Amino acid sequence: MSLSTRESTSELEKVVPAQAAPVMPPPPPQASVSLPDKPVVTIEPRASWLALNLRELWAHRELLYFLTWRDVKVRYKQAVFGAAWAILQPLFLMVIFTLFYGRLAAIDTGAVPYPLFALAGLVLWTFFSTAVTGSGNSVVNNAHLITKVYFPRMLVPAAAIGACAVDFLLGFLLLVGMAVYYGVPPTPRLLMLPPLFLMTTLFAFGTGMWLSALNVKYRDVRFVLSFAIQLWLFVSSVVVPSSVVPEKWRWLLLFNPMSGYVEGFRAALFGQPFDWQALAAAAAITLSVLIYSAFEFRRMEKSFADVI
Amino acid sequence: MKPMIKVEDLSKQYRIGTRGDASYRTLRDALAGAVADPFRRGRRKKREAGQDLWALDGVSFEVTPGEVLGVIGHNGAGKSTLLKILTRITEPTRGRVELYGRVGSLLEVGTGFHPELSGRENVYLNGAILGMKKVEIERKFDEIVAFAEIEKFLETPVKRYSSGMYTRLAFSVAAHLDPEILLVDEVLAVGDAAFQKKCLAKMGSASREGRTVLFVSHNFEAVKSLCTRCLLLDGGHIIEDGPPEVAIEKAFAKLRAKSGSSFKLHTLRDAPGVPRPASVEVRAADKPPGELVTFEDEVVATLELDAPLMEGHTFAFQVMTTAGTTIFNSFYRDSRENPPLRPGETRRVSARIPARLLPGGVYEAVFAYMLPNAELFWLCRENWFEIRDVKSYRNEGLTVRRTGLISLILPWDAE
């Protein structure tokens, strides 16, 4: 007699209670796995100032690659538009700035024509601003990951920068094309481009990482950030050279690493002398920001999953 | 035997207000607060100290390889906090956990899936997020795809997948992580029957291979049939650690004791003046409250509101199994014979479940407050009640325990 239309035997067993053995799984077999002597993972509350745990970051480098790759892939999925945007954004700004500053205000940019001057600054600046914005919002945007899976949280703001770097490369190609068009000769100073780009990346990462943690706690950081970035552009020697700033105020620019990097970037491109003092100040600030942010991020990440 | 998981004095404290939706503040608030009252910071801390909640409090246990440990307990007992600590999503406030193997979870299958990316790309991305190395994903790739049965759609963005395909692929990636410690949450509540079966089979095979499974569930039936041991949590403490039958029986006793006051409110839409549930009571129609309800009793479920009903609103009622299967819905407007609802006056409604409809077991009564077009304001859930399976006078000769979702007494014919 089958009272049950379901095929499972357990249903039948329940119907005949006389022999009804409880439906139990087979007894656990002897452990076939050999256990390590030391725990693979130990979970403990940690001190708030805890170390950066760089080893763990290194162990998760593949995930950084995959997260970056995801952002790049998604960004360029609609390939034509994605690539076009990376070029159009600095290009439009260049046109506008050329009209207002190059023509109307007739800013003196030395031997370099204003459009090229502006584009060089804008390409690096656009990278920085999109990277800071992207990584500043990354933790909140990836809340679904952070509340569900464990991995070093620092990878999230780091990965957000990767996609911006691809945009930068496209913008840089445009810049190279323009430089060739204007007949700028290559010089050995070009070798400074990679270190300058690296320092800009680190500065963007440091700033973005700190903001991303702050953003979890205070959600209007997002709005303050987009406003602050717009203002920041005008004090970063992108639109006008730092030489326009009166001598007695110029030292203030030392506190803005982006001004140093933008000027350095242009100097490398156009074969002009570097302002080593500005670059040294920028590097010192970058490293301080990076270290401060990393510890601050580690301190705040403990509560991400609880607050986000 | 050496343990696979060793948990010692694990505790987690939440400051009330750091959970739930109003958890983050705005910078504006913080700045305005600092300007308006620079001394508030210090005082705030003092006030909040009194509002701490220990979601887990001194929990210790060990799990040996091959064991399937169930974790049950009502909402807020600490189950999900325990899982969150074991998966390292959140940190404990006190205590220590030692894990002697890789942890994988079927908690959140499909975490990190990106709708724009293809099936192939998502396998890599999801695998990496879950902690697999690239070479490992490459090695298991064909197996993952075959298990999910999506070979033909590998290059299609997953946003075009059916929900079945999506779930299969997500589950397949998670299942191929092959962790030594497998954590399973309420996955059984989602997904279709075939998917649930796959989950259960995976858990079974994992434990036979000497892996350790931690199964957190509301589904007492599944816990009973799968687990070798069960923890019952209550208020952040372990109040039972033993055979599943014992823990479940104790959990039922807890549920009965709490019935009426321990419902869980799910607010889906808010509008000013909408009344909230004050209490829910489920009892036998002809017996005093608190008495055992049997199969032979008519059951009355009563919802009491904290404010009168609003114009144009109505009610629905539903009974579900502990496994989350809906047995039936009933709407107040189903019948014109129901007394008319009086907005501004009605504060209490009762639904009557006929006797001999539900077989013995534990059920969840759900009340919904809604518009007639079934737009819900809230659901009042987790009103657990138990029906005892007693021998029916109609089948005295047979000592049969009824199975199935309903237990109708049918008229038969014989010729």
Interface membership of B144 toward A (CB under 8 Å)? no
Give the HSE-up count for residue B182: Cα atoms under 13 Å, Cβ half-sphere: 30
pLDDT category of residue A210 using cuts at 50, 70 and 90:
very high
Interface membership of B403 toward A (CB under 8 Å)? yes
> Which own/partner contact pairs does A54-57 have at CB distance under 8 Å and 24+ positions apart?
A56/A152, A57/A152, A57/A154, A57/A155
pLDDT category of residue A3 using cuts at 50, 70 and 90:
very low
Q: Name the pTM for this structure.
A: 0.72
Average pLDDT (A52-58) is 81
pLDDT digits (tens, 9 = 90+) for A146-193: 888 888 899 999 999 988 898 899 899 999 999 999 988 889 999 999
pLDDT category of residue B48 using cuts at 50, 70 and 90:
very low
pLDDT in the model for residue B406: 84
Q: Which residue has the tokens 């110029």?
A: A250
pLDDT category of residue A26 using cuts at 50, 70 and 90:
very low
Average pLDDT (B131-156) is 90
Q: Supply the DSSP symbol for B87.
A: T
CA distances to A38, B136, B205, B331 from B301, rounded to whole Å, are 54, 54, 41, 14
pLDDT in the model for residue B411: 86
Residue B68 phi, psi dihedral angles, 5° rounding: -115, 105
State the smallest CA–CA distance between residue A69 and chain B in angstroms: 9
SS3 B267: strand
Q: Looking at chain B from residue 236 to 295, which residues have their Cβ under 8 Å from any Cβ of chain A?
A: 245
pLDDT category of residue A80 using cuts at 50, 70 and 90:
low
Q: What percent of chain B has pLDDT over 70?
A: 81
Looking at per-residue pLDDT, the higher value among B189 and B276 belongs to B276
pLDDT in the model for residue B105: 78
Burial class (CB in 10 A: 0-12, 13-18, 19+), B372: exposed
Chain B residues closer than 8 Å to A8 by CB: none
Q: What percent of chain B has pLDDT over 90?
A: 23
Chain B residues closer than 8 Å to A74 by CB: 114, 116-117
* Of residues B389, B408, B407, the one with CA closest to residue B399: B389
Average pLDDT (A2-28) is 37
Interface test with A, best of B91, B121, B137 (most A CBs within 10 A): B91
pLDDT in the model for residue B107: 67
pLDDT in the model for residue A56: 83
Average pLDDT (B288-311) is 86
Looking at per-residue pLDDT, the higher value among B83 and B41 belongs to B83
pLDDT in the model for residue A21: 34
pLDDT digits (tens, 9 = 90+) for B228-253: 899 999 888 999 999 998 998 888 77
Mean pLDDT lowest among A57-66, A130-139, A163-172, B250-259: B250-259
> Per residue in A282-296, is it b (16+ CB within 10 Å) or e — as a string?
bbebbeebbeebbbe
pLDDT in the model for residue B259: 58
Chain A residues closer than 8 Å to B103 by CB: 41
pLDDT category of residue A8 using cuts at 50, 70 and 90:
very low
Q: Quick check: A131 pLDDT over 90?
A: yes
pLDDT digits (tens, 9 = 90+) for A247-289: 888 888 889 999 999 999 999 999 999 999 999 999 999 999 9
Average pLDDT (A70-77) is 82
B359 and B322 Cβ atoms separated by less than 8 Å: no
Q: Looking at chain B from residue 187 to 216, which residues have their Cβ under 8 Å from any Cβ of chain A?
A: 204, 207-211
Q: What whole-number distance in Å separates Cα of residue B253 and Cα of residue B32?
A: 50
pLDDT digits (tens, 9 = 90+) for A102-116: 777 777 777 888 999
State the smallest CA–CA distance between residue A266 and chain B in angstroms: 37
Chain B residues closer than 8 Å to A79 by CB: none
Cβ pair A306:B92 closer than 8 A? no
* Of residues A154, A148, A91, the one with CA closest to residue A295: A154
pLDDT category of residue A135 using cuts at 50, 70 and 90:
very high
